[in-house]
């Protein structure tokens, strides 16, 4: 069974990340030394728990924003992503021609985007190992054979 992290460990890790984010890494041993330098922690066991949870949170921060932690770098990155404007629009067809299939062309016509200039390309037909749609449906509905139980 897993161990429970106390509120003390979690709160200390969050505070350390908010104040010392640029110094922290994804390595436990480095974070352990940093925790030892920047904080007065009563025991080695508690220091290791805080360093471990700090490393865990740093890995989560790499994937995206973490609830309960706000630091300047994370807020600046969020602002930058919100304010991002691409140099060339995806709908700007003057630079490169837009290639679409007939179904997409009909959809654009129904939505009222007739003015978008695009070249209609023949639809691509994909077959997997010669199995047609009809035969794949037969495989899905086939009864499952069960092996007899061994006693």
Q: Rounded to the nearest 5 degrees, what angle is found at the Cα of 131, between the Cα atoms of 126 and 133?
A: 75
Would you say residue 149 lies in a domain?
no
Q: Do 107 and 60 share a domain, yes or no?
A: no
Taking only the tens place, the pLDDT of each residue in 1-40 is 567 788 899 999 999 998 888 899 999 999 999 999 999 9
Q: Do 14 and 36 share a domain, yes or no?
A: yes
For residues 41-57, give the mean pLDDT.
94
- Overall pTM > 0.75: no
Secondary structure class of 99 (helix, strand, coil): strand
Q: Do 97 and 38 share a domain, yes or no?
A: no
Taking only the tens place, the pLDDT of each residue in 69-85 is 877 766 777 788 788 88
Q: How many domains does the chain have?
A: 2
Distance CA 31, CA 54 (A): 7
Instruction: Tell me the CB-side half-sphere exposure of residue 18, using CA atoms within 13 A.
Output: 11
Q: Do 98 and 137 share a domain, yes or no?
A: yes
Domain that holds residue 49: 7-81
């Amino acid at each position: 069974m897993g161990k429970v992290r106390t509120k003390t460990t979690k709160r200390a890790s969050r505070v350390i990340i908010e104040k010392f984010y640029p110094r922290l890494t994804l390595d436990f041993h480095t974070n352990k030394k940093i925790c030892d330098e920047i904080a007065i922690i009563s025991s080695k066991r508690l220091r290791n728990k805080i360093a471990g949870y700090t490393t865990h949170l740093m890995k989560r921060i790499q994937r995206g924003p973490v609830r309960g932690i706000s630091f300047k770098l994370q807020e600046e990155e969020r602002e930058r992503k919100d304010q991002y404007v691409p140099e060339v629009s995806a709908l700007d067809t003057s630079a490169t021609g837009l290639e679409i299939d007939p179904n997409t062309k009909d959809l654009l016509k129904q939505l009222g985007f007739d003015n978008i200039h695009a070249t209609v390309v023949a639809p691509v037909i994909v077959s997997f190992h010669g199995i047609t749609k009809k035969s794949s449906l037969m495989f899905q509905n086939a009864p499952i054979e069960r092996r007899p139980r061994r006693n």
